[in-house]
Amino acid sequence: MICFTRRSLLRAVLGAAVGVAGFASAAPADEFPAGPINMLVGYGAGGQTDLVARAAAKVISDQLGVPVNVVNKPGAGGAVAARDLMQAKPDGYTMLFHSNTVVNSASFIMERVDFKPDDFEYAGMITAYQVGMATQKDSPFDNITEFVAWAKENPGFSYGALSPEARLYMEEIAKKNDLDANIVPLQSGSEMINALLGKQVVLAFSGGIHYRYPDELKTISALTTFRHPSAPDVPTIEEEGYPLGMDSRTTIFLPKGTPQPILDRLGEALKAAESDANFKKVTDAADIPIMYLGVDEAYQEMEKTYAKNKEIIEGAGLAAN
């Protein structure tokens, strides 16, 4: 309740501030945008999220008729960029294109990060990450249940983990089934692919890039609440009795207090990406499904995943905050 009051109060104060600023400047909200927009990306140039961001920036720029400049601001998995965004003017000219994990999971895992869903406004979400567990094509298991049966016969197997979440999944499964797992730390998606193809690990956590290797790798579990469009026959982890599905999507973040008309205008522009041929070319090339959510749905999704992930991560005794 306190939180709610504070939030509405904050909104009112910021709204008033924006109102004043709006009158003072030559460009009120209904004429948005009157100049170039800066789009922050919390990862370095060239990664998956960066490529999707650049393609989305192109679409938004075409829709709004102003340039959209992509500014890479890597650091702490996007937390540096998100913190900078919080300090930006809430006028719609600075936004952040990033995975919503910076709010809904980094907040629980990284000691110095503590964002909440209502620290930002959202203009929409556009693509989903097909987070899953990947293994070699010829592995003798096709889902978690079969894997557990195999792992009991093969104690001391190696599992590749990119992040604390990735460790969490294996630790939870191992705890529940009394498995003996060696968790191998990996640093990047390409290292994960190497470890799988080189048979250094029997199973690995993947953010979705393993779908580029359909001839060598297969998915045994979708770690999301939905089945992956790229592998509709593979069950989700929840279907197999572990309530651990954590969804993540690329999201457009804006500073708290950005006026609703501006959010709607940006949301509309982002929606055009859903049917844009060039955007689809980029996402198809990387096997990234487009799953558009509008302004209000994005906010709900954020609140929902935040609450759920908090429960999962704290339940596993991993939370840093």
The answer to whether 312 contacts other proteins (rule: CB under 8 A) is no
Q: How far is the CB of 116 from other proteins (least distance, A)?
A: 17
Nearest to 118 by CA among 102, 103, 138, 129: 103
Q: Rank residues 113 and 262 by Cβ distance to other proteins and give the closer one.
A: 113
The answer to whether 281 contacts other proteins (rule: CB under 8 A) is yes
Q: Rank residues 34 and 197 by Cβ distance to other proteins and give the closer one.
A: 197
Handedness of CA 48, 93, 13, 31 (dihedral sign): negative
| Residue selected from 31, 138, 153, 215 as contacting other proteins according to rule CB under 8 A | 215
- Taking the alpha carbons at both ends of the chain, their separation in whole angstroms is 21
Q: How far is the CB of 255 from other proteins (least distance, A)?
A: 17
Report how far residue 300's alpha carbon sits from residue 303's, in angstroms, rounded to the nearest whole number: 5
Q: How far is the CB of 156 from other proteins (least distance, A)?
A: 5
Q: How far is the CB of 118 from other proteins (least distance, A)?
A: 20
CA 289 to each of CA 84, 149, 216, 242, 253: distance values in angstroms, whole numbers, following the listed order: 29, 32, 21, 24, 20
- Whether the CB-CB separation of 98 and 81 falls below 8 Å is answered with yes
Q: Rank residues 110 and 174 by Cβ distance to other proteins and give the closer one.
A: 110
Report how far residue 210's alpha carbon sits from residue 10's, in angstroms, rounded to the nearest whole number: 43
- Whether the CB-CB separation of 261 and 252 falls below 8 Å is answered with no
Q: Which two tokens stand for residue 73?
A: 């601001």
| Window contacting other proteins (CB under 8 A); options: 29-37, 139-147, 190-198, 223-231 | 190-198
Nearest to 224 by CA among 251, 253, 247: 247
Report how far residue 94's alpha carbon sits from residue 163's, in angstroms, rounded to the nearest whole number: 29
Which contacts (CB < 8 Å, 24+ apart) does range 227-236 have?
228/130, 228/132, 228/289, 229/130, 229/289, 230/130, 230/287, 230/289, 231/130, 231/132, 234/132, 234/142, 234/143, 235/143, 235/144
Q: Rank residues 54 and 228 by Cβ distance to other proteins and give the closer one.
A: 54
| Residue selected from 14, 15, 22, 58 as contacting other proteins according to rule CB under 8 A | 58
- Whether the CB-CB separation of 299 and 285 falls below 8 Å is answered with no
Site for other proteins in 84-143 (CB under 8 A): 109-113
Q: How far is the CB of 230 from other proteins (least distance, A)?
A: 14
| Window contacting other proteins (CB under 8 A); options: 122-130, 142-150, 182-190, 257-265 | 182-190
The answer to whether 62 contacts other proteins (rule: CB under 8 A) is no
Interaction mask 146-175, other proteins, x per CB under 8 A: ----------x-x----xx--x--------
Q: Rank residues 211 and 299 by Cβ distance to other proteins and give the closer one.
A: 211
The answer to whether 35 contacts other proteins (rule: CB under 8 A) is no
| Window contacting other proteins (CB under 8 A); options: 3-11, 96-104, 169-177, 195-203 | 195-203
The rounded Cα 231 to chain-centroid distance in angstroms is: 19
User: With contacts defined by CB under 8 A, how many residues of the chain interact with other proteins?
Assistant: 54
Q: How far is the CB of 34 from other proteins (least distance, A)?
A: 24
Count the residues in the chain.
Answer: 321
Q: Rank residues 78 and 132 by Cβ distance to other proteins and give the closer one.
A: 78
Amino acid at 68: V
Which residues of this chain interact with other proteins, rule CB under 8 A? Answer: 44-48, 50-51, 54-55, 58, 71-77, 79-80, 83, 109-113, 156, 158, 163-164, 167, 182-188, 190-191, 193-195, 197-198, 200-201, 212-213, 215, 278, 281-282, 285-286
